[in-house]
Structure 1
Amino acid sequence: MSQKILKSIQNVPATFIGNNTNWALETISIDSRSLQNGPQTLFFALVGANNDAHQYIKDLIATGVQNFVVTYIPKECEGKANFFVVQNTLIALQQFAANYRSLFNFPIIGLTGSNGKTIVKEWLNFLLSPDYNVIRSPKSYNSQIGVPLSIIAINEQHNLGIFEAGISTRSEMDKLQEIVKPTIGILTNIGTAHDEGFVNTEEKISEKLKLFKHVEVLIYHKNKIIDLIVDSEINLFSWSFNDKSASVFVSKKSVLDKTVLNIEFGQEYYEIKIPFQDEASVENAITCLMVLLYFKYDEKTIQNRMELLYPVEMRLKVKNGINNCSIIDDSYSSDFQSLKIALDFLESQKQYKKKTVILSDIFQSGLSNDELYTRVSQLIVSNKIDRVIGIGETISAFEKKFVNCVSYKTTAEFIAKFNDLNFANETILIKGARTFQFEEIVALLEEKTHETVLEINLNAISDNLNFFKSKLKPNVKIMVMVKAFGYGNGGFEIAKLLEHHKVDYLGVAFADEGILLKSAGIHLPIMVLNPETTSFPAIIQHQLEPEIYSLKGLHAFLKIAEQKQLNQFPIHIKLDTGMHRLGFEDNTIDDLIATLKGNQTVKVKSILSHMATSDNLEFKDFAYAQIDLFEKLSSKLMSELQITPLRHILNTSGISNFQEAQYDMVRLGIGLYGVSNDAEEQKQLENVGTLKSIISQIRTISKGESVGYGRRFIAEKPTKIATIPIGYADGISRGWGNELGFVMIKNAKAYIVGSICMDMLMVDVTDIECLEGDQVIIFGECPTVSYIAKKLNTIPYEILTSVSQRVKRVFYR
């Protein structure tokens, strides 16, 4: 790989500045936080709207990285490494990947569409891997950055590639086409995703079709719009349920829990069974079938393999484990690229210092087993993994390549020895190919709770954070509020992610919240916004930073600070500019100054205030009056005390509505969790939390029969009732019952009937085809917490923070 990387970077227009040309490059990186960076890394210093990786080059050099692609050389790094200086590092990364791709000549399947890309890619890998050494995009790496990183993983042993390409607006696909250069094209379902980036559906399809301008064939679901737009010179291979002119005509019927597809292909007629009934899975399966037909697989092979398709888990999940463990569940895939991603995720989410990896045999690396497990061992070492448990014939044969490793030939053998392994107080990554059935290991290690869960999308939190960062002026810092158990979403896991994103401060309401985070290993500075005087000793002990909002509180803290002989301990001064909740008012500023002047035990780290109406522009004049008063009082403090602390007054709504008052820092709260008071801004935010449960039981009641306490629902006709194991003890307002509220089952609204109980609620599913055990959405994309709050005449904060801690949180990427 070293020579191919070298050749690819040398063909990128760049000015080389450096001394050492004895390169041994084996890997590409864009993440300064990755423990996998080292002497054999070529690091691309990408520049985004809110982050410039050039600022981390000095630290990377200290870790051994010697080769960088940059737009400029930081002054303190001159002469200390090799630099390829380019005009734009993202474009250079894309050019590098395009150069690298051109060094290989084998079939490449390129996929694009609105939905189904990752599922189709994973299924094609399963269907084709018995006959090909497949390289594919890891996870959903289909963006302007993800595609180059996927391509760079190709090596000499691969003979088939499957790569996704995703776009959100115009002019993006041309770049991805140059990188992927697919020989076979697949267009999956075209839906509403990213509609806002295009004038209309036709433009979106036209942009996506640019991926296929040099393919030998395009496989797609026959569609009149596509037929009108697609280049007439492209060979089309289409399928349809209703258009006999398609290359393949399909009819279907449901049999038990399967779908039987009747295929009419030229003069051939046969049946294929697939283990799904939902529309999306059936369509994705047919797309895969089309590839098998194009590759001229025989009928029996197609039938056998298609019937073995399986649900694809596309997410890395963080779960609570037994004996105070944290579990990262990636139990459905085991390839080298996704292992690198999973190990980075482990580092970003580790809750305990001790790290264990349970790893199956790795397939389709394109490397010899000796080279593969040597590289895996190097990854394990660089990520400072304490214990490796290998499962599989091959990894067992290479056990000696790993330090502190025990191996088992089969999953069953591991399970038989499970009780001897003493899992406790550690973070465990479970990474296995599907054939090893590692879900059984997850079940053993996972803490047992009831079936109601709140799923937290960590990608969505990252996206929302970046959205608000994009609104900030240069050098404005950001504090993120993780009080109230992360607005109900979970404290530590979100704090760990925010630390990974290098936010400047975390904010909590009370000292015990901050103590929990510090005790769990969070190193970011944490501000306690409502400290009680009794908590001051604990705040000092755990290096938290108190907000001081009264002379009484200040004197109490100074007394303890003097007793403990503190020096310049950070405090934060709260000013009341109109909220009239907490804070120093205008008439107490002189006393505050007199108390602080000359005092060396504390240091005023910041001055802050809180806006009362930042979310309501009807009170714009009041908001500006608050900002003016804050400017006046804070300036007086700074002048009299001769200090230059951070100043901050804006919360989530203020960030958007009063950008001129960003000062030195802003405080991001509920916006991080995907909630905005502005309808247009709400469209830009990602849903973070989805509260899910299941159907416990279904019964049919007769006309005149009632449901629940107080007989508040009486059936007017025979009615099918489903009971869901979630109630007001889990945080569901009783006011949401009695047919005001609903849940989603099978993408249909099921209205809540009768009173909500402590641990259960009942819904009408008369017109919904559902079974006991089926999934139920309480809130998420629909209904949203904002919708529920509006109906209940409250605010989204209350809906989110009401979700009980007895509801299990599952974090995923």
Structure 2
Amino acid sequence: MIFNTDIFSQYIDSEIVGVNFPAELTINNVSVDSRSLLNDEHTLFFALVGKNHNGHHYIAELAQKGVRYFVVDQLPIVLHKEAVYFKVSDTLLAFQKAAAFHRASFDLPVIGITGSRGKTVVKEWLNFLLGQDYKVIKSPKSYNSQTGVPLSIFGIKESHSLGIFEVGISLRGEMQRLQPIVQPSIGILTAITDEHNEGFISIEEKIQEKLVLFSSVDVLIAEEGPIIRSLTSDKPLMTWSLYNTDATVYGSLTGDVLSIAYAEQPLFSVQIPFTDVISVKNMMSCISVMLYMQMPIEAIVTGISQLYPVELRLQVTSAINNCTVIDDAYSADFQSLVIALDFLEKHKISKKKTIILSDLFFNGDNEEEYYLSVLQLLKSNNVTRIYGVGECISRFLADCPGVFLYETTDEFLQKISLDEFAEETILVKGSRAFRFDRIVSFFETKTHETVLEVNLNSIQYNLNFYRSKLKVGTKVMAMVKAFGYGSGSLEIAKLLSHENVSYLGVAFADEGIELRKSGVKANIIVMNPEINAFPAMIAYDLEPEIYSIRELKAFLKVARARTCYKYPVHIKLETGMHRHGFTTAELDELIAILRFTNVVEVQSIFSHLSSSDMPEYREFTLDQIELFTKNVNYLSEALNINPIRHILNTSGIYNFASFQMDMVRIGIGLYGVGNDPLEMEQLRNVTTLKTRIMQIKEVENNESIGYGRRYRVEGSRIVATVPIGYADGIPRAWGNNGGYVLINGKKAPIVGAICMDMLMVDATNIGCKEGDEVIIFGEQLPVTIIAEAIQTIPYEILTNISQRVKRIFYQD
């Protein structure tokens, strides 16, 4: 960005203070965060002032680091001789004016999005749908606040041909400040609900305030309705509806097919990936935009069918006393609080929901009203307990029942007892200044520096990759057995339930029971049920795989005693794996038992492919499929049933998609591991095992390292000790087969035998220090490399990661 200094100064109503200021400002980075590593000589820093932070306190430090341009409302006592200061009366207002100044220099179409729900989803989906034809600049994550919108706008460059920005407000008067910044030419009003109505007298006032964003649009796209019609008579309006055929765009939903009628165009149908009401409405907004922009119908149909879930990055970890902690300890404003509370509801493990909240960023006229709105928001989200930390929240919520208040984070940590928390979900949300990361650590059950990070967005992506290979209507069973292939079952099960998979698969009843106790309501199949677990399975609505006559008779006995009627079971057929399942010779006896009972009902019949990942055994796999088809048809006809049929596993989906039948089972592929190099290229890494350097030492020539003196040093070497070993799941064989870790992106060979809790690496040529991060496996060091080197499979490595390793789940 290049700004004329005088014109820029006039636009933001500033006085220029400085000895030698240039005629033009060359700006590469606009910053409001003094800690940003991007702050340099081409940074324009706005010293924003909040209740718990003041950017002016860091100006001298930033000037020493090379920052030269500052927007301030008070000059530092000592002026840096090379710095230029733009003195204004309000730095936030100047920040917003500067963004508007930058926006005005670009003549490109901009889509502005506001509403109560769906802003981020519609933004991300439109970016996906239009990204092939336009160079899109969009809001990062959910940057839709009074500071987030300007930061988003500053990202516009000459190369961009379309902008997509979301805008959120929580109080009256806020949109008036944001409209000049965005200047949308196409407006989208997403769902308006009565949720989060704090700060507004009525729905009408809330809509009217949001409509300020669209004061100069070429078209406003919104759901048809009397309120919208009454409030937008002066605006060019394009409406959509799922109920009113008079709308500009009318959508009729049947199952997962959305039929679209628009103007004089022929009726066309779209296969939609999600059928919940909010998602369908968000898709209608996207379809309307694409129709207005005259996108080809084929592009609309293809694009909408490939849409994906949009999630926000928040971290979830296990905590003391069977609690779960949601870590959002780095920002606190009203809009992000709304997002975090939605996340809390989605990931709660019981009805008990607790929030620990710091003072929130505020820049307005009535701070008391603001905090009362915050309180109302918390109550409307059924938060069980509220802990407030900070001077402002303590002052304004002092007389509110059920709210526990502390002036500082230290006071909270000193006075709180861990015994107060059990079997609940705790949202920890605070601005960086409050150091709520200490509160998160306070609740954690494990403090081991070794962690397994699980990217839930990657699991979503991988699920959708395999779904893209399926026909419309094919069901998906997702395997979460073996502790989610080592990643952690609960959060993954919740995610997959949210993604509407038809079934979850676990190995043993205990795994399914834990999911049920944690609130997972999806259909769960137990793949290896033990007879003594049948009563508990029925109590927790778990569906058994039935693989033998003995097992079937045992289950029928338990089910009859509990007066079960048509309890769902899943029949396993033996087709060549020779592990377990009914053989062809046993089918008649199976039929004889099932034909005259209504205690159970066959939900599915399936088998398992032994070699679907091995091209050399393709004919064997086809023989398995043929035998399965023959036997399942025989059973279905004899029993007069129409069960779900499934035989394809992960590699089967990839290599034998034409045999997907009624359902497929996705296992290791969800976790980013394929059995084919081309398949791997299309998957995203899910898990990253990392730790930190514990100690660094210099080891002299001919000295030995580790047990048994198995490694002798040649020449002087720098050796780093890393706190992870075979008790954490690292195979000892990896240390003897060219094993290595990554430190600062460089290979550090493992030297000496891997110990129970530690391993040592040669860090001679890396240039690292104690505390530096160490990657054991992840995107740059795939687990498949380790598996190949020690002649095992990725499953074994992933499932061997010890329970003592802390799992961190996050979403981008």
Per the TM superposition, whether the score is higher than 0.5 is yes
Distance 1:393 1:792 in 2: 57
Structure 2 distance, partners of 1:641, 1:370, is: 69
Q: Distance in 2 between matches of 1:357 and 1:749?
A: 42
| Structure-2 separation of matches of 1:785 and 1:534 | 36
SS, match of residue 92 in structure 2: coil
- Distance verdict in 2 for CA 1:465–1:344, change over 3 Å: farther
Q: 776-785 or 530-539, which moves further after superposition? A: 530-539
Q: Structure 2 counterpart of 1:642, which letter?
A: N
Residue 558 of structure 1 is matched in structure 2 by: 556
The CA deviation string for residues 364-405 of structure 1, in whole angstroms up to 9 with x for no partner, is: 476843443344334323322111111122222332796621
3-state SS of paired residue (1:737): helix
Structure 2 residue identity aligned to 1:362? L
Task: Map 1:337-348; keep pairs closer than 5 Å.
Answer: 337-348=335-346
**Aligned ranges for residues 29-178 of structure 1 at < 5 Å?**
127-130=46-49, 131-132=91-92, 170-174=132-136, 176=138
User: What is the percent sequence identity of the aligned residues?
Assistant: 50
Q: Taking structure 1 as reference, are residues 598 and 400 closer, same or farther at Cα in structure 2, changes over 3 Å only?
A: farther
Q: How far is the alpha carbon of 1:330 from its aligned partner?
A: 0.8
Structure 1 residues 590 and 507, CA gap change in structure 2 (3 angstroms): same
Equivalent residue in structure 2 for 1:665, among 646, 652, 663: 663
In structure 2, stretches of 5+ residues that fail to align are: 1-10, 14-25, 50-90, 100-109, 118-123, 165-179, 182-311
- The 5 A counterparts of 1:358-757 are 358-364=356-362, 368-399=366-397, 404-419=402-417, 422-738=420-736, 740-757=738-755
The answer for the alignment partner of 1:260 in structure 2 is none
Aligned letter for 2:48? S
- CA offsets 1:431-460 (integer angstroms, 9 cap, x no match): 001111212222222224321111111121
Is this contact kept in 1: 2:737–2:790, CA < 8 A? Answer: no
CA distance in 2, matches of 1:119, 1:346: 28
- Change in 2 beyond 3 A, CA 1:394/1:653: same
CA–CA distance in structure 1, aligned partners of residues 633 and 605 of structure 2: 10
Q: CA deviation at 1:209?
A: 7.3
Q: CA deviation at 1:543?
A: 1.6
Is contact 1:737–1:755 with CA below 8 Å preserved after alignment? yes
Partners of 2:606 and 2:646 within 8 A in 1: yes
1:169 Cα shift? 5.3
Query: Deviations 1:498-553 (Å, cap 9, x if unpaired)?
Result: 22222221101111111121122211111011112222222222221110011111
Query: How far apart in 1 are the matches of 2:459 and 2:339?
Result: 18
CA contact (8 A) 1:121 1:164 kept: no
For the pair 1:321 / 2:319, whether they are aligned, the reply is yes
Mapped to 2, the partners of 1:634 and 1:187 lie a distance apart of 58
**1 CA distance for matches of 2:586 and 2:688?**
46
* Equivalent pair of 2:695/2:720 in contact (CA under 8 Å): yes
Structure 2 distance, partners of 1:110, 1:554, is: 73
Residue aligning to 2:785? 787
CA contact (8 A) 1:323 1:425 kept: yes
Aligned residues between the structures: 572
The CA RMSD over aligned residues, in Å, is 3.7
CA gap of 1:365–1:803, structure 2 versus 1, over 3 A, is farther
Contact 1:739–1:751 under 8 Å retained in 2: no
661-670 vs 122-131, greater mean Cα deviation: 122-131
C-alpha displacement of 1:176: 4.9
**Inter-CA distance 420–459: structure 2 relative to 1 (3 Å threshold):** closer
Asked if the contact 1:691–1:778 (Cα under 8 Å) also holds between the matched residues in 2, the reply is yes
Matches for 1:238-253 after TM superposition, within 5 Å: none
Secondary structure in structure 1 of the residue aligned to 2:338: helix
Deviation at 1:126, TM superposition (A): 8.4
Rounded to whole Å, the distance in 2 between the matches of 1:541 and 1:487 is 26
**In the aligned structure 1, how far is the partner of 2:595 from the partner of 2:400?**
59
* 1:132 match: secondary structure: helix
Q: Distance in 2 between matches of 1:454 and 1:632?
A: 44
User: Structure 1 residues 653, 208: CA separation in 2 closer, same or farther (over 3 Å shift)?
Assistant: farther
Residue type at the aligned position of 2:626: D
Q: CA deviation at 1:783?
A: 1.3
* Cα shift at 1:571: 0.7
1:731 maps to a residue whose letter is G
Structure 1 unaligned regions, length at least 5: 1-104, 138-146, 155-162, 189-204, 217-313
For 1:336, the equivalent position in structure 2 comes to 334
Give the partner amino acid of 2:511. E
Matched AA of 2:473:
N
Deviations 1:585-618 (A, max 9, x none): 1111111111100201111111111111221233
Distance 1:701 1:331, change over 3 A: same
Q: Is the 8 A contact 1:548 1:571 kept in 2?
A: yes
| Match in the other structure for 1:42 | none
* CA–CA separation in structure 2 for the residues paired with 1:149 and 1:485: 43
Q: TM-score, normalised by structure 1?
A: 0.65
**Does the C-alpha gap of structure 1 residues 673 and 368 become closer, same or farther in structure 2, counting only changes over 3 Å?**
farther
1:797 corresponds to which of 786, 789, 795: 795
Distance 2:45 2:641 in 1: 63
TM-score (norm 2): 0.65
SS in structure 2 at match of 1:388: strand
Distance change in 2, residues 1:206/1:376 (3 Å): same
Deviates more, 1:472-481 or 1:124-133: 124-133
- CA 1:368/1:652 → structure 2, altered by over 3 Å: closer, same or farther? farther
C-alpha change, 1:112 and 1:594, in structure 2 (3 Å) is farther
CA distance in 1: counterparts of 2:646 and 2:478, whole angstroms: 12
Which amino acid in structure 2 is aligned with residue 799 of structure 1? Answer: I
Cα offset, 1:635, TM superposition: 1.5
Cα deviation, 1:412-443, whole Å, max 9, x if unaligned, reads 33223213981222110000011112122222
1:777 aligns with 2:775: yes
Amino acid of the residue matched to residue 132 of structure 1?
A: L
Output the amino acid matched with 1:569: Y
The answer to which of 553-562 and 128-137 deviates more is: 128-137
Q: Report the Cα offset of residue 461 of structure 1.
A: 1.4
What SS does the corresponding residue of 2:718 show, helix, strand or coil? strand
Structure 2 letter corresponding to 1:600:
N
1:166-200 deviation line (CA, Å, top 9, x unaligned): 879532435859x9998997669xxxxxxxxxxxx
1:620 positional shift:
2.2
Q: Is the 8 A contact 1:574 1:607 kept in 2?
A: yes
Whole-Å separation in 1 of the counterparts to 2:402 and 2:472: 47
Is this contact kept in 2: 1:692–1:779, CA < 8 A? yes
Match of 1:807 in 2: 805
How far does residue 724 in structure 1 lie from its aligned partner after superposition? Answer: 0.8
